[in-house]
Chain A
Amino acid sequence: MPIHGHYSFPPDLYYDRATHIWVRNDGEVVTIGLDALSLESLGDMAYISLQAVGIRVRRGEPIGTLEAAKMVGDLSAPVSGTIAARNEEVLRDPTHVNRDPYGIGWLLQLTPSDWARESTELVHGDGLTAWVEAEMERYRSQGWID
């Protein structure tokens, strides 16, 4: 797993540039969560709500809402599809997201409807390192990380 400082970005994942949501292709479904820089920006998670299983969403549409350190915001679908599963454990204890964002802190699983096309709009593979480094520089320049 590439480590950039103490922020990790597993290379097998896809990343949404706009929202810092990660996506893992698990075959029939994709699993999504929040990446390390996103969590650094948000701080500790206080509450999470997620759309119900069976709801169809398009890329960019809300799939849930979170509150961390008083900032409230909608979570956006990184790809279009139907919600296949919610992580009920993070709903009960949102701190899992901070503790293990790529593991037990996953948020939702979607059955994607246009993965072949939409996955090309996510960061993955060769472009990952350059994107992470640029994002970290941007975060540093704003004083969001050391």
Chain B
Amino acid sequence: MTDHSTWRLITDEDVSASFGLAADECLAQWVGQGGSSSTLRLYTYRSHCALVGRFQNLENEIYRDYCEAHGIALNRRPTGGGAIIMGADQLGVALTIPGRGDDSYSHARERMAQFSQGIVNALQSLGVRANFRRKNDIEVNGRKIVGLGIYRAHSQTRPESAFSVSSALQRTGLLFHASLLVGLDIPLMLRVLKTPFEKISDKEIATVADRVTTVRREIGREIELSEARARIAEGYAAAFGVSLLPGDFTADERRAIAALERSKYLTAEWVSQTTAVPDALGSAKVKTPGGLLDIRATLAGNILKAVFIGGDFFAAEAAIADLESSLRWHSADPDAVAATLAHACAGRADDLTALPLDALVTAVQQAIRRARLAESAARADPYGCFVNPV
């Protein structure tokens, strides 16, 4: 269990939402306490399930009635971020490795860049020009293709053990989660995940398609999930300099996973839990010489979770998606927002000639102010984050 140059590779298919999530968390705990070896798990969920982020309010993010009517399982990830749909065309990636003794959050961030590199390697080997984008996305020309998340897990104390204080601090495992969009059924996604759209037409579908992409779309051909999985495995072996040894869960691990499913991931207490921090929504419309600018912002506390930039001005959609990405999970501080937009617009100057920066900053800041004011109203009439796969 101490050979850090070899990782176990587990590939499983068609798993339930509760098993998939319980297995990842359980492995993180076991790897942290040294009971399991570092593991790269590449798997798919049974089509389809909808997974919200650790602290999201499910009712804000998911059309529960639709999901229940269509057999779409609902659950909650241990990692953060937005709501996603998962199924046969979305590859789940879970890397579980031990935390270090001096395991501050910064080390996890350091590892995130390395973690993303495994996927970037794989996509580039397929000819996809993907890049890691802070904080936790992998994108292709501004379109999100992978969402990433980190969870630092504490290992459960084994009753028979007498860990010292110092060893207790080392019993952490890191779980890196990712969902790779090999393909995506956008109309289904819009029926499952709540968005600002009031209807689902070709226009709305095209708007989403301008903000997310898939492996199949980028390489222009069909690709089996097995091929994508093999590339991901190769990408990780190269990024971390490790060998991957195909394996499976042990009997002990399966028992622990089943127990965690029963105690957590199959309970309404976990799946439907709510947070004391409500989403707050705000919108602003500003007329500019280039056309109408329509901004919608979602806040959680002082975090700007998502911004939708719409209107009838002319701009390259990839550039708009780039601006939106730059503000995802960003501080809502007005000066910070202005600085980030200025930087993002400067990098896309040729694509945004009809979008005045000052008007954009004004509109986004106004939407944020209104979101703060509308916080109580948001509790009564919520919708979720806009297009935020993981």
The residues of A with any CB-CB pair to B shorter than 8 Å are 17-20, 38, 41-47, 49, 58-62, 65, 67-74, 76, 91-95, 98, 118, 121, 139, 142, 144
Contact = CB atoms under 8 A, between A and B. Distances in A.
Contact of B105 (A60, A71, A92, A98): A71
Given A44-B332, A58-B157, A92-B277, 10 more contacts: A18-B103, A46-B329, A47-B275, A61-B154, A62-B154, A67-B55, A72-B149, A93-B301, A118-B165, A121-B165
Nearest to A62: B154
B69 interface: no
B135 A70 contact: yes
Interface residues of B, number: 42
B101 interface: yes
Interface string B100-128: 01111110111000000000000000000
A18 B105 contact: no
Interface stretch (B74-82, B90-98, B258-266, B346-354): B74-82
B105 A73 contact: yes
Interface in B286-321: 300-303, 305
Contacts of A58: 157, 168
Contacts of B152: 72-74
B104 A70 contact: no
B276 interface: yes
B301 A44 contact: yes
A46 B301 contact: yes
Nearest to A98: B302
Contacts of B144: none
B301 A95 contact: yes
Contacts of A91: 276-277
A74 B153 contact: yes
B106 A94 contact: no
A69 B154 contact: no
A69 B336 CA distance: 14
Interface of B: 53-55, 78-81, 101-106, 108-110, 135-136, 148-154, 157, 165, 168-169, 171-172, 275-277, 300-303, 305, 329, 331-332
Give the dominant DSSP class at A's interface. Answer: mixed
Given A60-B165, A70-B81, A95-B302, A47 B104 contact: no
A109 B212 CA distance: 44
A38 B80 contact: no
Given A45-B301, A47-B275, A144-B109, A70 B149 contact: yes
Contacts of A68: 303
A73 to B, nearest CB: 4
The 10 A-B pairs of least Cβ separation, nearest first, read: A60-B168, A47-B55, A73-B152, A95-B302, A46-B303, A72-B80, A67-B80, A41-B106, A70-B80, A62-B154
Contact of B151 (A69, A73, A92, A118): A73
Given A73-B150, A144-B106, A44 B275 contact: no
B109 to A, nearest CB: 7
A49 B275 contact: yes
30 contacts: A17-B102, A18-B104, A20-B105, A38-B105, A41-B105, A44-B331, A44-B332, A46-B300, A46-B303, A47-B55, A47-B275, A60-B171, A61-B168, A67-B55, A70-B53, A70-B79, A70-B80, A70-B150, A70-B329, A71-B80, A71-B149, A71-B150, A72-B55, A72-B78, A76-B169, A92-B276, A93-B301, A94-B277, A95-B301, A144-B109
